[in-house]
Amino acid sequence: MFIVASIAIVVTMVLVLVRALLGPTVYDRILAANSFGTKTVLIIAVYGFLTGRPDFLDIALVYALINFISVVAVLKFFEYGDLGVSTRKKTRQSEP
């Protein structure tokens, strides 16, 4: 039964990759990448059960953490790093 689930996830990952390639805006691509990361967590977990090695769940847990942090980091880069897109005034924060 885990093989069915993993095939479904792989097919879904392909669909999400298509959206990441099509874009059209950078936010669509980040959304697709975020969704892809969620599915990666799921497929690592399912693969662990498929091969009878639930130790893979540790990797899934860490991947979930990394996925969240990387999405926030990429968003921060596109919000503040790219001057062509950002319309916000830069405010300098005081360093302690």
Partner 1 sequence: MSAVFDVLSWVLLLAGSFFVFTGAVGLLRLPEFFTRIHSAGVTDTLGAGLMLAGMLLQAGSWTVAAKLILIFLFMMITGPTSTHALAKAALHGKLTPTTAGKEGVKS
Partner 2 sequence: MNPPKRVYGTLAVLSVLWLALSGYFQALLISFGILSCVLVTWLGARMDRTDGEHHVGLVRPLATIRYLGWLTLEVIKSNLDVSRRILSPRLPISPTVVWVPASQKSEIGRVIFANSITLTPGTVSIDVQAGEIEVHALSKEGADALLEGEMNRRVRAIEWED
Burial class (CB in 10 A: 0-12, 13-18, 19+), 70: middle
Query: Angle 2-22/26-50 helices, nearest 10 degrees?
Result: 160
Binder of residue 96, out of partner 1, partner 2, none (CB less than 5 to 8 A by kind):
partner 2
Question: Binding to partner 1 (CB under 8 A): which residues in 28-87?
Answer: 28, 30-32, 34-35, 38-39, 41-42, 45-46, 49, 54, 57-58, 60-61, 64-65, 67-68, 71-72, 75, 78-79, 85-87
**Position among 22, 27, 58, 66 found at the interface with partner 2 (CB under 8 A):** 58
Enclosing H/E stretch for 4: helix 2-22
